[in-house]
Amino acid sequence: MFTVLNDPDLPELKVCLETRVGGKSGQELLSELDPGSFFVSKGVKEDILSEDSTRVLDDKVSVKFARVKVSELGFKDIPPQVREVWSRIQSLGLSLCKMNDAIILRLKIKPSIGEVVFVATEQSARFGGIYHLFTLGQYHDSRCLSRILIHPKHKLSLDKEIIIRISEFS
């Protein structure tokens, strides 16, 4: 499946996952990650549980996610800053992921061994403007969901892959 964007300079974005999200609290979602198969960093747990671990954040909806390279969002030659990438995603009419999407993505997407993919989340900017970025990683038999701290002016490589929401429907 593909989603066509109105910008003629951009390629069609391929859907990497279409799934139902919402209807569960962060605590419920975290409990679905088997500790024998998944590693979840302390930072991820803190971020997700800091919301309100027992509150259901959203109604259940179907969402299409795309896994794109930074260059596919229209950046050429010069690596953009993280905040520029997030702004570009939104200016294209696409959406940043919700915090709990990271857990669902971790359950359903398996990057290659040693590969790390960013999850572009809307709650990224935190204290002092530092971004909290969730990453999906695969290390031998363990699937990792981690958080890195990154300055919004940090530049992302043009071939860095990120996951974004491209559509949502009931």
Q: Is the pLDDT of residue 9 over 80?
A: no
Task: Compute the distance between CA of residue 88 and CA of residue 100 in angstroms, rounded to an integer.
Answer: 22
* Cβ proximity of 23 and 59 under 8 Å: yes
Cβ pair 136, 163 in contact under 8 A:
yes
Average pLDDT, the chain: 84
Burial (0-12, 13-18, 19+ Cβ within 10 Å), 8: exposed
In whole angstroms, how far apart are CA 70 and each of 49, 63, 167? 29, 21, 19
48-95 pLDDT per residue, tens: 877 654 556 567 889 999 999 999 999 988 999 998 999 999 888 889
Q: What share of the chain is helix, strand, coil (3-state, %, to 5)?
A: 25, 35, 40
Q: Taking residues 144-156, report their average pLDDT.
A: 90
Say what the pTM is. Answer: 0.84
> What is residue 1's predicted lDDT score, i.e. its pLDDT?
36
Q: Is 103 helix (H, G, I), strand (E, B) or coil?
A: helix
Give dist(CA 125, CA 15) in Å, integer: 26
Question: How many Cα atoms sit within 13 Å of 158 on the Cβ side?
Answer: 8
Residue 45: pLDDT above 60?
A: yes
Q: Is the pLDDT of residue 23 over 80?
A: yes
Q: What is the pLDDT of residues 88-136, one digit of tens each?
A: 998 888 899 988 899 999 989 887 888 889 999 876 666 678 888 899 9
pLDDT given for residue 10 in this prediction: 64
